[in-house]
Structure 1
Amino acid sequence: MNSIKKPMTILENRQVPVQAKLAAAWTSFMFLYLYVDYLGLYKPGVVDDILAGVVHEFDIGPAFVAIALTALAIPTLMILLSTTLPARVNRIINLVVATLYIPFSMYNAVGESWTYSYFYGLSIGLEVLLLAFILRAAWTWPRVASPAMTDLVEPNRSQIQMGR
Protein backbone atom coordinates (compact mmCIF):
# COMPACT_ATOMS: atom_id res chain seq x y z
CA MET A 1 0.00 0.00 0.00
CA ASN A 2 1.41 3.34 -1.05
CA SER A 3 1.00 5.90 1.71
CA ILE A 4 2.71 8.82 -0.05
CA LYS A 5 0.41 11.79 -0.09
CA LYS A 6 0.30 13.91 -3.18
CA PRO A 7 0.33 17.66 -2.60
CA MET A 8 -3.01 19.40 -2.97
CA THR A 9 -3.31 21.57 -6.03
CA ILE A 10 -5.67 24.41 -6.65
CA LEU A 11 -7.47 24.67 -9.97
CA GLU A 12 -6.45 27.68 -11.98
CA ASN A 13 -9.26 30.17 -12.36
CA ARG A 14 -8.38 32.46 -15.25
CA GLN A 15 -10.37 35.60 -15.85
CA VAL A 16 -12.62 35.24 -18.92
CA PRO A 17 -12.73 38.38 -21.10
CA VAL A 18 -16.06 40.21 -21.14
CA GLN A 19 -16.28 39.74 -24.91
CA ALA A 20 -16.11 35.94 -24.51
CA LYS A 21 -18.75 35.99 -21.76
CA LEU A 22 -21.08 38.06 -23.95
CA ALA A 23 -20.54 35.84 -26.99
CA ALA A 24 -21.20 32.71 -24.91
CA ALA A 25 -24.37 34.23 -23.44
CA TRP A 26 -25.67 35.29 -26.86
CA THR A 27 -24.89 31.81 -28.22
CA SER A 28 -26.84 30.22 -25.36
CA PHE A 29 -29.70 32.67 -25.87
CA MET A 30 -29.80 31.98 -29.61
CA PHE A 31 -29.95 28.20 -29.18
CA LEU A 32 -32.58 28.44 -26.45
CA TYR A 33 -34.64 30.86 -28.53
CA LEU A 34 -34.44 28.56 -31.55
CA TYR A 35 -35.24 25.37 -29.66
CA VAL A 36 -38.21 26.91 -27.84
CA ASP A 37 -39.73 27.65 -31.24
CA TYR A 38 -38.81 24.19 -32.50
CA LEU A 39 -40.26 22.38 -29.47
CA GLY A 40 -43.36 24.55 -29.74
CA LEU A 41 -44.11 22.70 -32.98
CA TYR A 42 -44.94 19.61 -30.88
CA LYS A 43 -47.99 21.27 -29.35
CA PRO A 44 -51.23 19.90 -30.75
CA GLY A 45 -52.64 22.03 -33.55
CA VAL A 46 -49.51 24.09 -34.22
CA VAL A 47 -48.50 22.28 -37.40
CA ASP A 48 -52.11 22.39 -38.64
CA ASP A 49 -52.12 26.16 -38.10
CA ILE A 50 -48.82 26.50 -39.97
CA LEU A 51 -50.21 24.47 -42.86
CA ALA A 52 -53.22 26.81 -42.84
CA GLY A 53 -50.82 29.78 -43.07
CA VAL A 54 -51.03 31.08 -39.48
CA VAL A 55 -48.47 31.31 -36.68
CA HIS A 56 -49.74 32.53 -33.27
CA GLU A 57 -52.47 34.67 -34.87
CA PHE A 58 -50.16 36.10 -37.55
CA ASP A 59 -50.59 35.29 -41.24
CA ILE A 60 -47.50 33.66 -42.70
CA GLY A 61 -46.21 35.85 -45.48
CA PRO A 62 -43.12 37.77 -46.54
CA ALA A 63 -43.39 40.28 -43.66
CA PHE A 64 -43.80 37.56 -41.01
CA VAL A 65 -40.88 35.52 -42.38
CA ALA A 66 -38.66 38.63 -42.54
CA ILE A 67 -39.52 39.57 -38.93
CA ALA A 68 -38.92 36.00 -37.74
CA LEU A 69 -35.55 35.87 -39.51
CA THR A 70 -34.57 39.25 -38.06
CA ALA A 71 -35.57 38.11 -34.57
CA LEU A 72 -33.15 35.18 -34.86
CA ALA A 73 -30.46 36.98 -36.86
CA ILE A 74 -29.93 39.68 -34.22
CA PRO A 75 -28.74 37.31 -31.44
CA THR A 76 -26.68 35.48 -34.07
CA LEU A 77 -24.98 38.71 -35.10
CA MET A 78 -24.50 39.68 -31.44
CA ILE A 79 -22.17 36.68 -31.07
CA LEU A 80 -19.89 38.13 -33.73
CA LEU A 81 -20.29 41.75 -32.65
CA SER A 82 -19.53 40.90 -29.02
CA THR A 83 -16.13 39.58 -30.03
CA THR A 84 -15.17 42.18 -32.65
CA LEU A 85 -16.52 45.61 -31.71
CA PRO A 86 -14.46 48.08 -29.67
CA ALA A 87 -15.30 47.94 -25.94
CA ARG A 88 -17.31 51.18 -25.71
CA VAL A 89 -19.53 50.45 -28.73
CA ASN A 90 -19.75 46.78 -27.72
CA ARG A 91 -21.02 47.71 -24.25
CA ILE A 92 -23.67 50.11 -25.59
CA ILE A 93 -24.97 47.71 -28.26
CA ASN A 94 -25.19 44.82 -25.78
CA LEU A 95 -27.09 46.98 -23.29
CA VAL A 96 -29.56 48.20 -25.94
CA VAL A 97 -30.19 44.87 -27.68
CA ALA A 98 -30.53 42.84 -24.46
CA THR A 99 -32.94 45.43 -23.05
CA LEU A 100 -35.10 45.27 -26.20
CA TYR A 101 -35.15 41.46 -26.19
CA ILE A 102 -36.59 41.15 -22.66
CA PRO A 103 -40.15 42.23 -23.62
CA PHE A 104 -39.74 40.48 -26.97
CA SER A 105 -39.00 37.20 -25.16
CA MET A 106 -41.82 37.69 -22.67
CA TYR A 107 -44.32 38.18 -25.51
CA ASN A 108 -44.11 34.44 -26.25
CA ALA A 109 -46.28 33.74 -23.20
CA VAL A 110 -49.13 36.00 -24.38
CA GLY A 111 -52.22 34.00 -25.19
CA GLU A 112 -50.72 30.62 -24.29
CA SER A 113 -52.79 28.08 -22.38
CA TRP A 114 -51.94 27.07 -18.82
CA THR A 115 -51.32 23.56 -20.14
CA TYR A 116 -47.96 24.74 -21.44
CA SER A 117 -47.28 27.32 -18.74
CA TYR A 118 -44.31 25.34 -17.36
CA PHE A 119 -42.74 25.11 -20.84
CA TYR A 120 -43.14 28.80 -21.55
CA GLY A 121 -42.39 29.85 -17.98
CA LEU A 122 -39.14 27.91 -17.98
CA SER A 123 -38.10 29.01 -21.46
CA ILE A 124 -38.90 32.67 -20.91
CA GLY A 125 -37.31 32.56 -17.46
CA LEU A 126 -34.09 31.13 -18.90
CA GLU A 127 -34.08 33.65 -21.77
CA VAL A 128 -34.57 36.56 -19.35
CA LEU A 129 -31.81 35.21 -17.06
CA LEU A 130 -29.41 35.07 -20.01
CA LEU A 131 -30.40 38.60 -21.03
CA ALA A 132 -29.91 39.78 -17.43
CA PHE A 133 -26.45 38.19 -17.46
CA ILE A 134 -25.67 40.06 -20.70
CA LEU A 135 -26.91 43.32 -19.19
CA ARG A 136 -24.83 42.81 -16.04
CA ALA A 137 -21.68 41.81 -17.94
CA ALA A 138 -21.97 44.83 -20.25
CA TRP A 139 -22.92 47.24 -17.44
CA THR A 140 -20.03 46.18 -15.19
CA TRP A 141 -17.45 46.08 -18.00
CA PRO A 142 -14.08 46.66 -16.29
CA ARG A 143 -12.50 50.03 -16.88
CA VAL A 144 -8.81 50.90 -17.11
CA ALA A 145 -7.03 54.24 -17.06
CA SER A 146 -6.55 55.59 -20.52
CA PRO A 147 -2.87 55.75 -21.57
CA ALA A 148 -3.54 59.14 -23.16
CA MET A 149 -4.79 60.51 -19.84
CA THR A 150 -1.70 59.41 -17.90
CA ASP A 151 0.56 61.01 -20.53
CA LEU A 152 -1.24 64.32 -20.11
CA VAL A 153 -1.22 64.23 -16.32
CA GLU A 154 2.29 62.89 -15.61
CA PRO A 155 4.37 65.76 -17.05
CA ASN A 156 2.34 68.33 -15.10
CA ARG A 157 2.53 66.29 -11.92
CA SER A 158 6.34 66.19 -12.02
CA GLN A 159 6.49 69.96 -12.54
CA ILE A 160 4.21 70.53 -9.58
CA GLN A 161 6.24 68.18 -7.37
CA MET A 162 9.48 69.95 -8.31
CA GLY A 163 8.04 73.25 -7.12
CA ARG A 164 7.98 74.99 -10.45
Structure 2
Amino acid sequence: MATKTDNPFQSREVPIQSKLAAAWTSFMFLYVYVDLLGLYKPGMVDDILNGKVFTFEITETFAASALAATVLPTLMILLSATLPARANRVTNLVVATLLIPYMAFNLAGGEWLFYYGLGLAVELLVLAFILRSAWTWPRTSPASTDAAGRDAIPVALR
Protein backbone atom coordinates (compact mmCIF):
# COMPACT_ATOMS: atom_id res chain seq x y z
CA MET A 1 0.00 0.00 0.00
CA ALA A 2 1.47 3.32 -1.07
CA THR A 3 1.51 6.15 1.39
CA LYS A 4 1.76 9.84 0.79
CA THR A 5 5.45 9.77 1.74
CA ASP A 6 6.20 7.12 -0.92
CA ASN A 7 5.73 9.74 -3.65
CA PRO A 8 9.14 11.21 -4.52
CA PHE A 9 7.57 14.12 -6.43
CA GLN A 10 6.38 17.36 -4.96
CA SER A 11 3.27 19.03 -6.25
CA ARG A 12 3.22 22.79 -5.81
CA GLU A 13 0.17 24.97 -6.19
CA VAL A 14 0.26 26.84 -9.50
CA PRO A 15 -0.83 30.50 -9.19
CA ILE A 16 -4.11 31.28 -10.93
CA GLN A 17 -2.37 33.93 -13.07
CA SER A 18 0.00 31.26 -14.42
CA LYS A 19 -2.88 28.88 -15.12
CA LEU A 20 -4.72 31.60 -17.04
CA ALA A 21 -1.64 32.66 -19.00
CA ALA A 22 -0.99 28.99 -19.90
CA ALA A 23 -4.61 28.54 -20.97
CA TRP A 24 -4.49 31.65 -23.18
CA THR A 25 -1.21 30.39 -24.66
CA SER A 26 -2.84 27.04 -25.43
CA PHE A 27 -5.82 28.85 -26.94
CA MET A 28 -3.55 31.01 -29.07
CA PHE A 29 -1.60 28.03 -30.43
CA LEU A 30 -4.82 26.20 -31.24
CA TYR A 31 -6.37 29.29 -32.82
CA VAL A 32 -3.36 29.80 -35.09
CA TYR A 33 -2.89 26.13 -35.95
CA VAL A 34 -6.52 25.64 -36.97
CA ASP A 35 -6.03 28.40 -39.54
CA LEU A 36 -2.55 27.28 -40.53
CA LEU A 37 -3.46 23.62 -41.06
CA GLY A 38 -6.62 24.75 -42.86
CA LEU A 39 -4.31 25.93 -45.65
CA TYR A 40 -3.89 22.26 -46.58
CA LYS A 41 -7.53 22.13 -47.64
CA PRO A 42 -7.59 21.61 -51.42
CA GLY A 43 -8.05 24.88 -53.28
CA MET A 44 -7.29 27.09 -50.26
CA VAL A 45 -3.86 28.23 -51.49
CA ASP A 46 -5.26 28.86 -54.98
CA ASP A 47 -8.00 31.02 -53.47
CA ILE A 48 -5.42 32.97 -51.46
CA LEU A 49 -3.29 33.48 -54.57
CA ASN A 50 -6.45 34.79 -56.27
CA GLY A 51 -7.01 37.27 -53.43
CA LYS A 52 -9.78 35.51 -51.46
CA VAL A 53 -10.14 33.81 -48.10
CA PHE A 54 -13.45 31.96 -48.03
CA THR A 55 -15.76 34.67 -49.40
CA PHE A 56 -13.67 37.63 -48.25
CA GLU A 57 -11.42 39.70 -50.51
CA ILE A 58 -7.89 39.93 -49.16
CA THR A 59 -7.40 43.64 -48.52
CA GLU A 60 -5.52 45.66 -45.96
CA THR A 61 -8.77 45.90 -43.99
CA PHE A 62 -9.14 42.11 -44.06
CA ALA A 63 -5.52 41.65 -42.93
CA ALA A 64 -5.91 44.24 -40.15
CA SER A 65 -9.13 42.56 -39.01
CA ALA A 66 -7.44 39.15 -38.97
CA LEU A 67 -4.56 40.60 -36.96
CA ALA A 68 -6.97 42.27 -34.53
CA ALA A 69 -8.68 38.92 -34.01
CA THR A 70 -5.39 37.41 -32.87
CA VAL A 71 -4.25 40.42 -30.83
CA LEU A 72 -6.92 39.98 -28.16
CA PRO A 73 -6.05 36.42 -27.09
CA THR A 74 -2.35 37.24 -27.48
CA LEU A 75 -2.64 40.21 -25.12
CA MET A 76 -4.57 38.04 -22.67
CA ILE A 77 -1.43 35.95 -22.13
CA LEU A 78 0.39 39.07 -20.91
CA LEU A 79 -2.58 40.56 -19.07
CA SER A 80 -3.32 37.31 -17.23
CA ALA A 81 0.22 37.26 -15.91
CA THR A 82 0.41 40.95 -14.94
CA LEU A 83 -2.95 42.51 -14.06
CA PRO A 84 -3.98 42.85 -10.41
CA ALA A 85 -6.32 40.09 -9.23
CA ARG A 86 -9.68 41.90 -9.47
CA ALA A 87 -9.00 43.43 -12.91
CA ASN A 88 -7.47 40.14 -14.06
CA ARG A 89 -10.56 38.16 -13.05
CA VAL A 90 -12.99 40.57 -14.72
CA THR A 91 -10.90 40.88 -17.90
CA ASN A 92 -10.64 37.10 -18.28
CA LEU A 93 -14.38 36.65 -17.73
CA VAL A 94 -15.31 39.35 -20.26
CA VAL A 95 -12.82 38.42 -23.00
CA ALA A 96 -13.43 34.66 -22.80
CA THR A 97 -17.21 35.25 -22.89
CA LEU A 98 -16.91 37.53 -25.93
CA LEU A 99 -14.71 35.06 -27.79
CA ILE A 100 -17.21 32.17 -27.54
CA PRO A 101 -19.67 33.49 -30.16
CA TYR A 102 -16.78 34.74 -32.31
CA MET A 103 -15.21 31.27 -32.36
CA ALA A 104 -18.60 29.71 -33.18
CA PHE A 105 -19.06 32.21 -36.04
CA ASN A 106 -15.85 30.89 -37.61
CA LEU A 107 -17.59 27.53 -38.05
CA ALA A 108 -20.65 28.96 -39.80
CA GLY A 109 -20.90 28.25 -43.50
CA GLY A 110 -17.64 26.37 -43.58
CA GLU A 111 -16.66 23.10 -45.11
CA TRP A 112 -14.68 20.40 -43.36
CA LEU A 113 -17.06 20.53 -40.40
CA PHE A 114 -15.29 17.69 -38.57
CA TYR A 115 -11.92 19.48 -38.76
CA TYR A 116 -13.19 22.96 -37.85
CA GLY A 117 -15.71 21.48 -35.40
CA LEU A 118 -12.92 19.69 -33.55
CA GLY A 119 -10.92 22.93 -33.43
CA LEU A 120 -13.96 24.81 -32.14
CA ALA A 121 -14.71 22.15 -29.53
CA VAL A 122 -11.18 22.29 -28.10
CA GLU A 123 -11.15 26.11 -28.23
CA LEU A 124 -14.45 26.13 -26.30
CA LEU A 125 -13.01 23.71 -23.71
CA VAL A 126 -10.04 26.02 -23.17
CA LEU A 127 -12.34 29.07 -22.92
CA ALA A 128 -14.53 27.15 -20.44
CA PHE A 129 -11.41 26.41 -18.38
CA ILE A 130 -10.53 30.12 -18.45
CA LEU A 131 -14.06 31.11 -17.41
CA ARG A 132 -14.16 28.53 -14.60
CA SER A 133 -10.69 29.51 -13.36
CA ALA A 134 -11.51 33.22 -13.36
CA TRP A 135 -14.98 32.68 -11.85
CA THR A 136 -13.58 30.55 -8.99
CA TRP A 137 -10.57 32.81 -8.39
CA PRO A 138 -9.36 32.06 -4.85
CA ARG A 139 -10.33 34.67 -2.32
CA THR A 140 -8.14 35.74 0.58
CA SER A 141 -9.70 35.71 3.99
CA PRO A 142 -10.32 39.14 5.58
CA ALA A 143 -7.82 38.28 8.34
CA SER A 144 -5.02 37.80 5.81
CA THR A 145 -5.34 41.28 4.26
CA ASP A 146 -4.66 44.73 5.67
CA ALA A 147 -6.94 47.77 5.45
CA ALA A 148 -5.70 48.58 1.91
CA GLY A 149 -6.58 45.07 0.71
CA ARG A 150 -2.94 43.94 0.48
CA ASP A 151 -1.75 40.60 1.81
CA ALA A 152 -0.85 41.17 5.43
CA ILE A 153 0.57 37.67 5.87
CA PRO A 154 3.37 36.74 3.46
CA VAL A 155 2.47 33.74 1.29
CA ALA A 156 5.43 31.77 2.65
CA LEU A 157 4.00 32.05 6.19
CA ARG A 158 0.42 30.99 5.40
Report the TM-score, using the length of structure 2 for normalisation.
0.84
Counterparts of 1:9 and 1:99 in 2: how far apart (Å)? 39
Counterparts of 2:84 and 2:75 in 1: how far apart (Å)? 15
Corresponding residue for residue 127 of structure 1: 123
Q: Once the two structures are aligned, what percentage of the paired residues are identical?
A: 60
SS in 2 for 1:148: coil
- Unpaired runs of at least 5, structure 2: 150-158
The offset of 1:8, in angstroms, is 2.1
- Count of residue pairs brought into register by the alignment: 142
- Pairwise CA RMSD: 1.6
Corresponding residue for residue 84 of structure 2: 86
The offset of 1:149, in angstroms, is 7.6
Counterparts of 1:96 and 1:118 in 2: how far apart (Å)? 28
Counterparts of 1:125 and 1:56 in 2: how far apart (Å)? 21
Is 1:142 aligned with 2:138?
yes
Counterparts of 1:103 and 1:147 in 2: how far apart (Å)? 40
Aligned pairs for 1:91-110 (under 5 A) are 91-110=89-108
Corresponding residue for residue 156 of structure 1: none
Structure 1 segments, 4+ long, off by >6 Å, are none
The offset of 1:12, in angstroms, is 2.1
Counterparts of 1:72 and 1:27 in 2: how far apart (Å)? 12
Amino acid at match of 1:62: E
The offset of 1:10, in angstroms, is 5.3
Counterparts of 1:18 and 1:101 in 2: how far apart (Å)? 20
Corresponding residue for residue 49 of structure 2: 51
Corresponding residue for residue 14 of structure 1: 12
Higher percent of residues as helix:
1
Corresponding residue for residue 157 of structure 1: none
Counterparts of 2:132 and 2:8 in 1: how far apart (Å)? 28
Amino acid at match of 2:26: S
1:100-124 Cα distance to aligned partner (Å, 9 max, x none) = 11111111211123xx222111100
Counterparts of 1:108 and 1:48 in 2: how far apart (Å)? 20
Larger Rg: 1
The offset of 1:134, in angstroms, is 0.4
